[in-house]
Structure 1
Amino acid sequence: MEKIIEESKQGESLVLDYKPENTKKLFIESYGCAMNFSDSEIVASILSSNGYNTTQILEEADLVLVNTCSIRDKAEQTIRKRLEKYNAVKRTNPKMKVGVLGCMAERLKSQFLEEEKIVDLVVGPDAYKDLPNLLAEVEEGRDAINVILSKDETYGDISPVRLNSNGVSAFVSITRGCDNMCTFCVVPFTRGRERSREPQSIMKEIQDLWDKGFKEITLLGQNVDSYLWYGGGLKKDFINASEMQKATAVDFDQLLEMAAVGFPKMRIRFSTSNPQDMHESVLHVIAKHSNICNHIHLPVQSGSNRILKEMNRLHTREQYMTLIDKIRTIIPDCSVTQDLISGFPTETEEDHQDTLSLMEYVKYSFGYMYAYSERPGTLAERKMKDDVPETIKSRRLQEIVDAQRKYSAIRTQEFVGQTVEVLVEKVSKKSENDWSGRNSQSIVVVFPKENYKIGDFVNVKITSCTSGTLIGEALGLSEMN
């Protein structure tokens, strides 16, 4: 649940540049968080080098892949419906092969392949380099599966193909896996234990993006703050590292500084942070460098200490509030966003009120809010009864959403009359005559196009707002150009 699910991107099919020498067609759809969309770019890069062009026409594909998410029941149900659709097409095109990638693949491998027989190929998050071998197995009429979780696979040597990109902003994966055993989350079981990517391979990827004209990167991981490179291997094995490895290790604040100093005209974001792993040193790096965005996504999940303990969150309400105070002191104009779950097992009305009072204290800029849904394979599913009635979950979720809407309006209103720097990303959804982009705090800003173009950094005077969008007029290009 530490994963941001962008509803507008769900089910996006990806397209890369056409290579005339490639003779086969790949249709790939992605569901879930940014990590999944980033992984699809890696898969597309591997298959592009193995004879596949992408297509957005399902019926003409030789290979159909769906990159999956196990975070919410809704995502699983959607993917099952898509698999039914693929198989209906496959009946008219028997040469078509269907494969499942990602978290759901790892968890439901035998069910998909052996029991339901709805796929030819199952590939876990650490096995994408094995895809050409697995496809050869399928071509010879055998089911193919590789869901082995790796201690060191970070795909640092694969240059991802940027798919359906606006050419302006890109994700750069810096860690894989997670060591936090939150009871509601399946990630440690589907993506394995935490390991970090070699810093120079990260810097090389950022350089490549800069050379291609990208203006913004998001350093990405299940838990970016616990980034730790000491020569490779799992983070939990750092205690066994040599003295030299420990002395030369790179942690997240150092990596963030390397990126900010190395690319002063590149805007830098990161996601997702875990409260117990975010150290004050990171806040000082953000405050020091103007090209690091003043936005921290800091999932809290609940405002109740009792529920936080049940969730196996490694922070208390008080520790979280202390961290918020530090953020407000060190980076006064930083926006903070949240993930929250309503109706976790045993949650009482008092626990729910604790969540609402925490929201009142922080006044988040925006957030991702869900009613609890039991995920197979998690500790909560194995050991806790899902005992909060759906009607109560829904009512509590609505109260959380209503509160967030109120705080979002307060936070956007604070910008009226200010001048903010906006990176132009796309045409506004509401008007062809306006550009849309985000300010440093990750709030959407809309302003008249005039002579500006996508990829420009523009100073915009904010004249009005809605609860989620700032509206303004351009004053000119900023110094970031």
Structure 2
Amino acid sequence: MKPPRKLHIKSFGCQMNVYDAQRMVDTLTPEGFVETASVDDADLVILNTCHIREKASEKVYSELGRLRAIKEEAARSGRQVSIVVAGCVAQAEGQEIIRRAPAVDVVVGPQSYHHLPQLLAHAERHGRALETEFPVEDKFGFLPPPKPQAIRARGISSFVTVQEGCDKFCTFCVVPYTRGAELSRPVAKIVDDVRRLVDSGVREITLIGQNVNAYHGEGPDGRIWSLGKLLYRLAELPGIARLRYSTSHPRDVDPTLIDAHRDLPALMPFVHLPVQSGSDRILAAMNRKHTADDYRRVIDQFRAARQDIAFSSDFIVGFPGESRQDFAATLALVAQIGYAAAYSFKYSPRPGTPAADLRETVSAGEMDERLVRLQELIDSQQSAFNRAAIGRTVDVLFERAGRNPGQMVGRTAYLQPAHVMASPDIVGRVLPVTIESLERYSLLGRLEPAASARRSPLPLQTGA
């Protein structure tokens, strides 16, 4: 019997890549691979890349330089190490990776990683393998179900991909070119996956997709189901403590999703809803297909359905043509909405996107200054949101032991880390915690008796 080969995966970027990395493990486990946290003793190293962040390609090539040295050192001791580049950079720049990085054995796009065993076998027999074309078949149907022991090793929270790809074609975004058109999984397959996860001890499910609320999968009744209807179905499954979803587009928020937030206690009152800019002129240049007022109306609909709902978002500063007035409109939107958290970035062009051909009109210094101002406003809102938890009793789903002896860590409905002194047997349980103080972005508190605790929703407005 052959000893197991060791697999190390390093993922960059989005939650989809985290999920994809887990499924790569599930795909390669039957081939005799086991995960290792150390790249130095791995027989197979996979870089699961993301093309969204700035200088994504340069980071990949820098990492490949380090891996080449590890591969050469292993070869001198008689050990073979294989290197795979997967994900969106592989999809966008497969031929260039093959040309620039001779140490790479396999290049595989995100639509094709279920072919990894065949690609690795091809590389061993014939040399390097390149597979970046979108296959006709649905990759989801070719992935093996994860084994219970693998699920348990991942903890009590799990991602489940329900949708992949995007048809929006925002001018700054490479996703439609690297992940392809929108594809939704059938409801029955999602329900089977979630049941399997819950049976293995998972308590929190996050449904993910590049544009998750564009979900339009086939239901058991033969009709197309929306994300809201899918959430109603999943909430019926016993054992689920919490449901979440990410990432959404404002144009695809429909009444069933709003109603789900009103009706389903398991659906957490925290929505990531990217807006990118508060300026209608810039939103049009980005091809976002919504205005700032459209976005405000969607926020109002969520808040009317659930009083304690909170939001996070994404922002880009310095998009080509962004004036001081456009940026001021973004600051005004942030001040009006009030966010519990948000991600903000300086614009950087992505090769192959329409915006890459636009003339950049905002200097690097001005872009830096705008980003600082935006992040200061967002940070002040997040700090105010966290401070509002002090003295309140909130539900926390406990995940693991903390760094300090006797400390346990969980997350609130709003994904805030919460620390208490307690025994390890609370992992996987949702328990009331009275928040006593803050430590940076973490909440510190004490456990309350479940029967006597009175929970308080957090206030909504953290802005103006």
Q: TM-score, normalised by structure 2?
A: 0.90
- Of the candidates 427, 433, 446, which is equivalent to residue 419 of structure 2? 446
Aligned equivalents of 1:179 and 1:49: distance in 2?
35
Aligned identity (percent) is: 33
Q: Which moved more, 1:419-428 or 1:314-323?
A: 419-428
Aligned equivalents of 1:56 and 1:204: distance in 2?
29
**Does residue 33 of the first structure (1) align with residue 33 of the second (2)?**
no
Deviation at 1:353, TM superposition (A): 0.6
In the alignment, what sits opposite 1:67? Answer: 48
- Of the candidates 145, 149, 158, which is equivalent to residue 144 of structure 2? 158
Give the partner amino acid of 1:390: A
**Does residue 340 of the first structure (1) align with residue 328 of the second (2)?**
no
In the alignment, what sits opposite 1:415? Answer: 389
Deviation at 1:126, TM superposition (A): 1.2
In the alignment, what sits opposite 2:203? Answer: 215
Aligned equivalents of 2:236 and 2:200: distance in 1?
19
**Does residue 206 of the first structure (1) align with residue 194 of the second (2)?**
yes
In the alignment, what sits opposite 2:244? Answer: 269
**Does residue 138 of the first structure (1) align with residue 134 of the second (2)?**
no
In the alignment, what sits opposite 1:194? Answer: 182
Aligned equivalents of 1:471 and 1:214: distance in 2?
24
In the alignment, what sits opposite 1:11? Answer: none
Deviation at 1:21, TM superposition (A): 5.3
Superposition map of 1:90-101 within 5 A: 90-94=71-75, 95-101=80-86
Give the partner amino acid of 1:202: I
Deviation digits for residues 393-429 of structure 1, max 9, x if unmatched?
1111111110011111222233333221100123345
Aligned equivalents of 1:22 and 1:199: distance in 2?
39
Give the partner amino acid of 2:388: E
Q: Check 1:47–1:417 CA distance in 2 against 1; reply closer, same or farther (3 A cut).
A: same
In the alignment, what sits opposite 1:398? Answer: 372
Cα contact 1:224–1:271 (8 A) shared by 2: yes
Instruction: Give the unaligned 5+ runs of structure 1.
Output: 1-19, 233-243
- Of the candidates 219, 233, 248, which is equivalent to residue 258 of structure 1? 233
Aligned equivalents of 1:109 and 1:187: distance in 2?
16
Cα contact 1:102–1:125 (8 A) shared by 2: yes
**Does residue 47 of the first structure (1) align with residue 28 of the second (2)?**
yes
**Does residue 280 of the first structure (1) align with residue 269 of the second (2)?**
no
Q: Check 1:466–1:26 CA distance in 2 against 1; reply closer, same or farther (3 A cut).
A: closer
In the alignment, what sits opposite 2:461? Answer: none
Deviation at 1:56, TM superposition (A): 3.2
Aligned equivalents of 2:424 and 2:36: distance in 1?
34
Give the partner amino acid of 1:200: A
Aligned equivalents of 1:70 and 1:164: distance in 2?
30
Deviation at 1:280, TM superposition (A): 2.6
Aligned equivalents of 1:29 and 1:163: distance in 2?
19
Give the partner amino acid of 1:185: C
Superposition map of 1:314-329 within 5 A: 314-329=289-304
In the alignment, what sits opposite 1:304? Answer: 279
In the alignment, what sits opposite 1:149? Answer: 134
Q: Check 1:280–1:470 CA distance in 2 against 1; reply closer, same or farther (3 A cut).
A: farther
**Does residue 229 of the first structure (1) align with residue 223 of the second (2)?**
no
Q: Which moved more, 1:167-176 or 1:125-134?
A: 125-134
**Does residue 313 of the first structure (1) align with residue 288 of the second (2)?**
yes
SS in 2 for 1:93: helix
Q: Check 1:182–1:211 CA distance in 2 against 1; reply closer, same or farther (3 A cut).
A: same
- Of the candidates 426, 431, 434, which is equivalent to residue 458 of structure 1? 431
**Does residue 474 of the first structure (1) align with residue 450 of the second (2)?**
no
Cα contact 2:170–2:286 (8 A) shared by 1: yes
In the alignment, what sits opposite 2:113? Answer: 128
SS in 1 for 2:343: strand
Aligned equivalents of 1:326 and 1:231: distance in 2?
26
Aligned equivalents of 2:50 and 2:20: distance in 1?
12
Aligned equivalents of 1:478 and 1:457: distance in 2?
13
Cα contact 1:421–1:478 (8 A) shared by 2: no
Aligned equivalents of 2:177 and 2:152: distance in 1?
29
Aligned equivalents of 2:332 and 2:153: distance in 1?
39
SS in 2 for 1:337: strand
Instruction: Give the unaligned 5+ runs of structure 2.
Output: 453-464
Deviation at 1:139, TM superposition (A): 0.8
Deviation at 1:23, TM superposition (A): 3.5
Deviation at 1:346, TM superposition (A): 1.2
Aligned equivalents of 1:260 and 1:368: distance in 2?
29
Deviation digits for residues 102-160 of structure 1, max 9, x if unmatched?
10001111111134434121011111121121112111232211112145524254324
Deviation at 1:327, TM superposition (A): 1.3
Aligned equivalents of 1:283 and 1:22: distance in 2?
52
Deviation digits for residues 49-97 of structure 1, max 9, x if unmatched?
1122233343433322111011112443332221001111222234322
